[in-house]
A and B are shown apart, each in its own frame.
Chain A
Amino acid sequence: MKADVRRVSLRPSSPAAPETSVFARFCAGSARKLFPFLVLVVLWEILAYTQPPYIFPSLGAILRTIVELAQDGVLWTGTLSTVQSVFIAAIISLISGALVGFALAKYETFTAPLLNFAQTIPYVVWALMSLIWFGLTKTSVVFTIAIAAFPLVAFNVAAGLKNIDPQLLGMAQSVRANRYMRLRHIVFPSLTPYVIGASRAMLGMCWKISVLAELFAGGASGGVGYNLYSAWEFSRPTELFAWTIWLVFLMMLSDRIFITPLELFATRWKKN
Chain B
Amino acid sequence: MSNIEIRNLTKKFDTNEGPLTVIDDITLNVDDGEFVCLLGPSGSGKSVTLNCIAGLLDATEGEIAVDGVCVRQKQPNYGYIFQQPRLMPWRTVEENLQFALRAETGRPVPNEKKRIADVLELMNLTGYEKFYMHQISGGMQNRVSIARSYIRNPDLLLMDEPFGALDEMTARKLRSELVSTWMRDRRTVVFVTHDIIEACYLADRILVYTPKPTRIASVISIDLPRPRIYGSEALHEVETRVLAACEQSLSQFTAESTQAN
Contacts and interface: CB of A to CB of B under 8 A. Distances in A.
Most buried by A among B78, B89, B132: B89
5 contacts: A167-B82, A167-B86, A172-B103, A175-B148, A175-B152
A177 B88 contact: no
B180 interface: no
Nearest to B56: A173
Interface stretch (A91-99, A178-186, A253-261): A178-186
Contacts of B90: 189, 192, 269
A167 B47 CA distance: 14
Nearest to A177: B103
Contacts of B88: 168, 185-186, 189
B103 A178 contact: yes
Given A175-B100, A176-B103, A178-B104, A170 B86 contact: yes
B18 interface: no
B106 A174 contact: no
Interface of B: 54, 56, 75, 78, 80, 82, 84, 86, 88-92, 95, 99-100, 102-106, 132, 134-135, 137-138, 148, 152
A100 B142 CA distance: 38
A177 B104 contact: yes
Contacts of A175: 80, 99-100, 103-104, 148, 152
Which bracket fits the contact residues of A? Answer: 20 to 34
B104 A174 contact: no
A185 B80 contact: no
Contacts of B86: 167-168, 170-171
A140 B192 CA distance: 63
Contacts of B91: 185, 189, 269
A27 interface: no
Contacts of A1: 134
Nearest to A174: B80
Nearest to B100: A175
Contacts of A181: 99, 102-103, 106
B105 A174 contact: no
Contact of A170 (B78, B82, B100): B82
Contact of A178 (B92, B106, B132, B134): B106
B103 A167 contact: no
9 cross-chain pairs, A with B, having the tightest CB-CB distances, nearest first: A174-B80, A177-B103, A171-B86, A175-B103, A189-B90, A180-B106, A175-B100, A167-B86, A269-B90
A1 B141 CA distance: 13
A11 interface: no
A178 B86 CA distance: 17
A167 B84 contact: yes
B56 A174 contact: yes
Contacts of B102: 181
A104 B201 CA distance: 50
A33 interface: no
A136 B31 CA distance: 79
Contacts of B135: 272
Contacts of A25: none
A149 to B, nearest CB: 27
